[in-house]
Copies of this chain bind each other. A is one copy, B any other.
Amino acid sequence: MRLEILPVLGIGHVSEGDDLAAMITAAAPWLRDGDVLVVTSKIVSKAEGRLVDVPADGPERLAARAEVLAAETARVVATRGATRIVQTHHGFVMASAGIDASNVDKTRLVLLPVDPDASARALRAALRERYGLDVAVIISDTMGRPWRNGLTDVALGVAGMDAIRDHRGEVDPYGNELELTEMAVVDELAGAGELIKGKCDQVPVAVVRGYLATTRGDDGIGAKALVRDSSLDLFSLGTAEARAAGLADAARLTDGTATAPADLAAVDRAIAAVADAVAPGTVFTHVTDPEVRERLVATVPDWPAGATTLVLGSPATPVDPFGLVRFGADLHRLRAALAAEGLQSTLLPPPPGTPAAALLAL
């Protein structure tokens, strides 16, 4: 058993309307059933006319490029300097939405195919119907990734095989159920194709032979199986963007109380976190004595239903009007620190007889 990775040489320049199936079969008459074709997305984009005209240079070029990028962007994920990582309408997270200015005239930009899975299906169908070839097709592109330097090629589209090889339920020789179960094999195949494409000049198609015993009868669900929903992603936003979102959360904190008794250790951590950020002499007391708590709660007519915990705040004395303003700011600091610990809170008026205090209900 072995795999072979073969370059398809001599395809040459691709222009809008070109017939990729004809070009590939002419350049690689040696293709066989079961081969996996790894096709660089750029030639698919060119054949499909996914090009836009832009000025060759100057601020007009930058402005035109920014407009194209905005149109290709579903959501900005992270920005630093001129780098913009976005989620495309396909769901891919890529620098500059995969827009590329290399291997094309200086006055054009190449966009990703509108639907790379559909492009893969169409090429596969053309090879099957017109040339009798039963192959799988991967549309590949180059992407960066967090945490690791260097880029790799991955799959944008696939037809004729599953994007993911699922080992779930398999058991190793020691009787352990396998932990790492879902391999993104089309990404590994795309990367393997890049190894031979990158070694040659101008090789937009590679063939992986020996991987598939047979193709799927149908096309399969495509590379969209690789797109993780951003709501499930632990890294849906850049760190700086998420941190700014946390500051904005603090600016717009709403009242709330925990549905379960608040974690008292977390309350203590929040109080400790602001201890040296608040005005000297300000005291936040986490009320744990049930009698004291009951007496205080009894004085608050609008004590929120469900609130289980109480923090009593007292400003530094003596308190002038601006001292009360600063005390309020310090209370909001504590609310932000509580929110950082996952605890909601509500600001309440002070109990009678303690004009210079306030309550947070959690």
Which stretch of A63-71, A129-137, A231-239, A297-305 is in the interface? A231-239
B246 engages A245 (CB within 8 Å): yes
Which stretch of A19-27, A103-111, A113-121, A286-294 is in the interface? A103-111
Does chain B have a CB within 8 A of A151?
yes
- CB-contacts of A1-51 with B (<8 A): 1-7
CB contacts (< 8 Å) of A249 on chain B: these are: 243, 246-247, 250
Contact A251 to B252, CB < 8 A, known contacts A332-B329, A333-B332: no
Measured CA separation A241–B237 after assembly (Å)? 11
CB contacts (< 8 Å) of A151 on chain B: these are: 180, 182-184
A350 engages B322 (CB within 8 Å): yes
- CB-contacts of A178-196 with B (<8 A): 178-180, 182-185, 187-189, 191-192, 194-196
CB contacts (< 8 Å) of A165 on chain B: these are: 198
CB contact between A242 and one of B198, B233, B246, B248 (< 8 Å): that residue: B246
Measured CA separation A225–B148 after assembly (Å)? 9
- When C-beta atoms are compared, the residue in chain B nearest to A94 turns out to be B147
CB contact between A251 and one of B3, B187, B233, B250 (< 8 Å): that residue: B250
Does chain B have a CB within 8 A of A175?
yes
CB contacts (< 8 Å) of A270 on chain B: these are: 251
A225 engages B163 (CB within 8 Å): no
- When C-beta atoms are compared, the residue in chain B nearest to A211 turns out to be B195
Tell me the minimal C-beta distance from A351 to chain B in angstroms.
Answer: 11
Give the residue among A173, A246, A327, A331 with the most B Cβ atoms within 10 A.
Answer: A246
CB contacts (< 8 Å) of A149 on chain B: these are: 164, 182, 184, 225-228
A104 engages B238 (CB within 8 Å): no
- When C-beta atoms are compared, the residue in chain B nearest to A326 turns out to be B328
Does chain B have a CB within 8 A of A145?
yes
CB contacts (< 8 Å) of A163 on chain B: these are: 150
CB contacts (< 8 Å) of A182 on chain B: these are: 149-151
Contact A331 to B333, CB < 8 A, known contacts A183-B198, A250-B246: no
A234 engages B80 (CB within 8 Å): yes
The interface residues of chain A, by DSSP majority, are classed as mixed
Tell me the minimal C-beta distance from A49 to chain B in angstroms.
Answer: 18
Contact A145 to B146, CB < 8 A, known contacts A102-B178, A202-B173, A331-B329: yes
A333 engages B251 (CB within 8 Å): yes
Does chain B have a CB within 8 A of A268?
no
Does chain B have a CB within 8 A of A112?
no
Contact with B along A302-341 (1 / 0, CB 8 A): 0000000000000000000110111111111111110111
Measured CA separation A237–B244 after assembly (Å)? 13
Contact A347 to B328, CB < 8 A, known contacts A172-B102, A337-B247: no
Name 27 A/B residue pairs within 8 A (Cβ), A-sorted: A5-B5, A100-B179, A102-B178, A106-B176, A145-B145, A147-B235, A149-B226, A149-B228, A152-B188, A183-B194, A185-B195, A235-B238, A240-B242, A242-B243, A242-B246, A243-B249, A244-B246, A247-B337, A247-B339, A250-B251, A251-B333, A251-B336, A321-B324, A324-B325, A332-B332, A332-B333, A332-B336
Return the 9 tightest CB-CB contacts between A and B, nearest first: A246-B246, A328-B328, A150-B184, A250-B250, A242-B242, A188-B191, A251-B337, A247-B340, A146-B235
